[in-house]
Copies of this chain bind each other. A is one copy, B any other.
Amino acid sequence: MLMAQSQIDGKEMLAIRGTESSGLVGSNGITKDHVDIIKGHGLVRDVITEENISRMDGNCVIIGHNRYSTAGKKKSGINCVQPFVVYTAMGTVAIAHNGELVDAKQKRKEVLHEGVGLSTDTDSELIAQMIAKAIALNVKCQYGQDIGDITRELAVTMSALNMSYSLLVMTFDRLYAIRDPFGNRPLCVGTVLSPDGNPEAFIASSESCAFPANAKFEFEVKPGEIVELSKKGIKSVWQMKPNTPLAMCIFEYVYFARNDSEIEGQQVQSVREECGKTMALEDDLEADIVGNVPDSSLSAAIGYAAQSGIIYEPVLHRNSYVGRSFIQPNDLMRQNAIKLKFGVLKKKVQNQRIVLVDDSIVRGNTMRTLVKMLKDAGAKEVHLRIASPPVKFPCFMGINIPTNLELIAAHKTIPEICEYVGADSVRYLSVDGLVSSVQKGIERVANFSPGHCTACLTGKYPVSIDL
């Protein structure tokens, strides 16, 4: 998740404290060559502590970045933790990047052959060096008065990039929120209001749920747009000429975004409920109760129940005190760990025909154990309903999907999956069902014609991929 804040009057910025981020970089708006940095691996609460957060006091611009723990391990090492900070001829620049450059390999080669050494294999450093180069070329003529303004250099850099990126860029006194022309990753801006309704700070984030409660959601950054946030306010400073189709990642709705976020004008929770409804419409099952795998799939289960008329009943308890840190060395132990994590509400499931709703299946091991637990507890039938289509293709735009071999949908047919997990039937939401569940709401609320990337579900990529 990306997060940035530009503050108006220098008061202590509580809102950003504890943002879900494992890297924070701040600047005081005066010193061009100094930034304050907090970085670390692990959960935000372990990295951004009371002790070190005070380093951010007095900073007028701050950007942060947090990698989801679901993300892959490809790029490790503490110096790969974003935001990436680079000293340039005009002062310090920090950047945070969501997405993945599909042509990173070629771009990297170009930079190296220009004589620039790279310290990491991250896209963020690549983009940072492109910006640094643009700055050095312009440095003499450009910085007459408004030294922190690098709009022109950013526009030059964007023109040399392909997809996919949402960027937050910080100079010593301002922030830039940038979205690639495909709009592949979400990015939105808002205003933090004081108790009496005056703007206190301007913020940008890849997820609106990161906005503090006293923030007003302003708008989503448009595909190909650069939006500047500074103490003067929010300003659209550049718009790339549109020549690409929209390709907003549909997987954000299915998996990454939080229920309390808004994307393309919709509450994410509502989209998930809608997916449940669509799934019920595509279905013709007779059953006694609809249950879910807590906690994530409650919305889809409620949607399914509402549409199908089958009553919703909790069937599983999730034990929050059993941590993920429990790494299990063998299959028996893993099964046991799942049994400790979930408890069956036995009295609810005895002699019932259950529609068990979940958001997705990865390897199928958890589901297999859950189905067994439900049947051991007396369930008559367990019908598995997955509120998203099967993921079958790799994503080159930044979503870290497990490799093909791990994904059960990539190497098993649905009957095979059904047999593997021991369910009485298995159905996934169709791709069309997902797209309509997502776009239906947008059409109602938004004044644009939506377009979504479904590459991981269909194999149709928005750009040609040269591996």
Contact = CB atoms under 8 A, between A and B. Distances in A.
Interface of A: 14-15, 17-20, 37, 39, 43-45, 50, 77-79, 84-89, 93, 112-119, 121, 125, 128-129, 131-133, 135-137, 139, 209, 212-214, 217, 258-262, 266-267, 269-270, 294-295, 298-299, 302, 312, 314, 316-323, 325-327, 329, 332-333, 336-337, 339-340, 343-348, 372-373, 376-377
Nearest to A270: B347
A115 B86 contact: no
A270 B129 contact: no
Contacts of A135: 115
Given A45-B325, A329-B50, A347-B266, A112 B85 contact: no
A345 B45 contact: no
Given A50-B329, A136-B114, A119 B87 contact: yes
Given A18-B340, A117-B93, A213-B339, A314 B43 contact: no
Given A116-B133, A212-B339, A294-B295, 5 more contacts: A50-B326, A112-B136, A114-B136, A213-B376, A267-B347
Contacts of A323: 43, 45
A393 to B, nearest CB: 27
Contacts of A139: 113
A260 B343 contact: yes
Given A312-B302, A346-B262, A129 B117 contact: yes
Given A78-B78, A314-B299, A337 B267 contact: no
Contacts of A320: 295, 320
- The 8 A-B residue pairs whose C-beta atoms are closest, nearest first, are A117-B132, A260-B343, A115-B136, A86-B117, A267-B347, A260-B317, A115-B133, A79-B79
Contacts of A20: 319, 321-322
Given A86-B118, A115-B132, A259 B317 contact: yes
A345 B259 contact: yes
A408 B79 CA distance: 39
Given A43-B321, A213-B377, A117 B258 contact: no
Nearest to A312: B302
7 contacts: A14-B332, A18-B322, A78-B79, A86-B119, A214-B376, A258-B317, A262-B346
Contacts of A214: 376
A67 to B, nearest CB: 12
Nearest to A348: B267
Nearest to A259: B317
Q: Which of A133, A325, A347 has the most CB of B within 10 A?
A: A347
B77 A37 contact: yes
A88 to B, nearest CB: 5
Contacts of A326: 18, 45, 50
B87 A118 contact: yes
B77 A89 contact: no
Contact of A346 (B37, B121, B267, B299): B267
A251 B78 CA distance: 34
Contacts of A87: 112, 117-119, 121
Given A270-B347, A346-B260, A346-B267, A44 B321 contact: yes
A314 B259 contact: yes
A116 B121 CA distance: 16
Q: Which of A128, A317, A332 has the most CB of B within 10 A?
A: A317
Contacts of A348: 267, 269-270
Given A336-B15, A345-B259, A45 B321 contact: yes
Contact of A136 (B85, B113, B329): B113
Q: Which of A37, A119, A137, A348 has the most CB of B within 10 A?
A: A119
Nearest to A49: B326
A165 to B, nearest CB: 17
Contact of A336 (B17, B133, B321, B340): B17
Q: Which of A113, A125, A327 has the most CB of B within 10 A?
A: A113
A294 B318 CA distance: 13
